[in-house]
Structure 1
Amino acid sequence: MFAHALTSRVLAYADQQSIGHEPFCTDIPGLLVARHFRPTDLTPVLYRPIFCLVLQGAKQSSLGDEMVTFSQGQSVIVGLDLPTCASVVDASTQRPYVALALQIDVTLIKELAAEIDDFGGADARASDGKGRVSAIAAGEADEAIVNAMERLFGLLNKPAAAAILRPLLMREIHFWLLSASHGALLRQLAQANSHAARISEAIIHIRRTYVEPLRIPELARAVGMSESAFHQHFKAICGTTPLQFQKRLRLIEAARLMKSENQSVSAAAVAVGYESPTQFSREFSRMFGLSPREHRSSISIAHGTSARPAAPAHMRGQADLSV
């Protein structure tokens, strides 16, 4: 069994904390634990930059028309904020899906890369467009990264040790992520003039101004790309167009507003930038598989009509709702 000792410890911890269908934020900043006892539907989620180590079971995330699968013994690196869809595909009561996840510090990635001459070599030079990198990449988890994650998890309930050792382990883990075979996007993000770095700048702008109309020509110029190159590289990395990216951000945020802030359908639509209630309802239904009113009603049924449930993890500034 892959990482048997670590898997057993994480499962015991999940039992102690009664971890359910949402990721659990541990006392180690940035470290999350996920456990599922059954497969889940393909659900819209907002990924933040994150590293996920799958200890048992399997999960899938969509990248455009492709599905990226990461299963036991593998890890997945998401280097950018990315609204997408994900589902657990291998889980049971006897053998639940379980994973450790760590938020990626992109600033630390850049600092480490700057300390190493020509880090990544060919990956860094792939900015001419011939080398494809993706926002979601899965690969085998090598012994070094598993060992480092095990030591980080071992700092739980050891606050004095965590205060000293966590920063060192974060540097080590981020080094291994930069070195990973599926860490090409991180290596390119560390290169100021790469296409990936420019697309990252564009994503930051879209997230900051997602309620406003998206002006592609202006955004392309702002990140130093032609409009055609901007479209090409944005879709290659994110699996979607900039306009589709913005639409998904809006709809995920609208769902959060209805769930965690108890907003009405019309108020949520206006809050995320929709002027047409009909268009909002149509696009929401297409993405979530039910109308906004049905979505809001399902929340009331699940929590009671007077309940105001907490914001889901993928919209709390944590990492991903379904690591």
Structure 2
Amino acid sequence: MDMGNDQQAQREAQRMQANREELVWRIAQAIREDGTIQPLTGLHLSRTTVPRKRVHSVVEPSVAVIVQGSKEVLLGDNRYHYDSSRYLLTTVEMPRISQVLEASKERPYLALRLALDPTLVSAVMVDASRSLPREHTDIRAIDVSPVDGHLLDAFVRLVRLLDAPDEAQVLMPLITREIIYRLLMGEQGARLRHLVMEGGYTPHIATAVKRLRQDFDQPFRIETLAHELGMSVSSLQHHFKAVTAMSPLQFQKRLRLQEARRLMLSEDLDAASAAYRVGYQDASHFNREYKSLFGVPPIRDVQRLREATRESIG
């Protein structure tokens, strides 16, 4: 019996290794220069040949798999490190900080990320309700878990569709449903279910996140938001931080500062104009908070980013 189990485990390990190697080859063929592309709706492929400094971004609900290299994601005081053996699940749209740790020209960092539509997650939950495990979990909106053979196999079949665009229209929705099912049945299934089920506070927090994303440049009163959600201020504060690792005010501030950075880079706005566009009335206050998040004042930060862009192009 033990010998049979060992042989089965060995075959499974060989199959997973073959799947990883195929993913490396296919993603490397699909994206030949550093950057990120979206060859199919909701499927993002990334490549980089050098370890990167920390990147501030807003990420949608999604599952991310690295096929070569490694990465670290920071959310509040928590760090999440993952590589080709683990996937990252994000269940609420929110700002985060990430950093590619391992990458080289010989072995570039290669990864894929698949967006997860909460409506589709709910539909799969209904179809699979009888077989879903019932364990409880914390409600953090992000975590990492080991990639199993079934999940990896589904991602291989998804990436193969890059070579068959006509088939992708039919098969991608089916494979995406399978991936969601595998996630629901896996280690983080309870977290994913908790964030789309009716009842409890998490759907309210998802609504609060959506409101803050839409109105990040408007004055924020937590009392108003709590009243609209039917929650007390203390309850909203507690549950919002449990999910996002930030207070609502910290969440809004990070969104504002990231948008101001984008405006200065892409629309060539000066710091005062960008600050006003994202809701700051006091330029000196904006400068202090910008430096606290990004490490340097706005002008120096933008200059540094532009120089790094020119160097990468050159």
TM-score, normalised by the number of residues in structure 2: 0.87
The gaps in structure 1 that reach 5 residues or longer are 124-130, 310-323
Matches of 1:141 and 1:12 in 2, distance apart?
A: 19
Where in structure 2 are the equivalents of 1:271-290 lying within 5 Å? 271-290=277-296
1:29 corresponds to which of 41, 48, 54: 41
| Residue pair 2:19, 2:153 contacting (<8 A) in 1 also | no
The gaps in structure 2 that reach 5 residues or longer are 1-13
Where in structure 2 are the equivalents of 1:1-323 lying within 5 Å? 3-11=17-25, 13-15=27-29, 17-20=31-34, 22-26=35-39, 28-117=40-129, 119-123=132-136, 131-301=137-307
Matches of 2:25 and 2:163 in 1, distance apart?
A: 16
Matches of 2:117 and 2:199 in 1, distance apart?
A: 19
Question: 3-state DSSP class of the match of 2:293?
Answer: helix
Matches of 1:276 and 1:236 in 2, distance apart?
A: 31
Matches of 1:120 and 1:152 in 2, distance apart?
A: 26
Matches of 1:148 and 1:15 in 2, distance apart?
A: 19
Give the counterpart letter for 2:37 in structure 1: F
Change in CA separation of 1:117 and 1:16 when aligned onto 2, cut-off 3 Å: closer
Cα deviation 1:164-201 (Å, max 9, x = unaligned):
11111111111112222123332012212222211111
Question: 3-state DSSP class of the match of 2:162?
Answer: coil
Q: 216-225 or 193-202, which moves further after superposition?
A: 216-225
Give the counterpart letter for 1:17 in structure 2: I
Matches of 1:18 and 1:72 in 2, distance apart?
A: 19
Larger radius of gyration: 2
Shift of residue 12, structure 1, vs aligned partner? 5.2
| Residue pair 2:23, 2:156 contacting (<8 A) in 1 also | no
Give the counterpart letter for 1:245 in structure 2: F
TM-score, normalised by the number of residues in structure 1: 0.85
Q: 94-103 or 67-76, which moves further after superposition?
A: 94-103
Matches of 1:36 and 1:180 in 2, distance apart?
A: 29
Matches of 2:162 and 2:80 in 1, distance apart?
A: 31
Change in CA separation of 1:300 and 1:61 when aligned onto 2, cut-off 3 Å: closer
Change in CA separation of 1:64 and 1:301 when aligned onto 2, cut-off 3 Å: closer
Give the counterpart letter for 1:134 in structure 2: R
Change in CA separation of 1:17 and 1:68 when aligned onto 2, cut-off 3 Å: closer
Q: Which has the higher helix share?
A: 2
Matches of 1:229 and 1:111 in 2, distance apart?
A: 29
Change in CA separation of 1:103 and 1:147 when aligned onto 2, cut-off 3 Å: same
Question: 3-state DSSP class of the match of 2:98?
Answer: strand
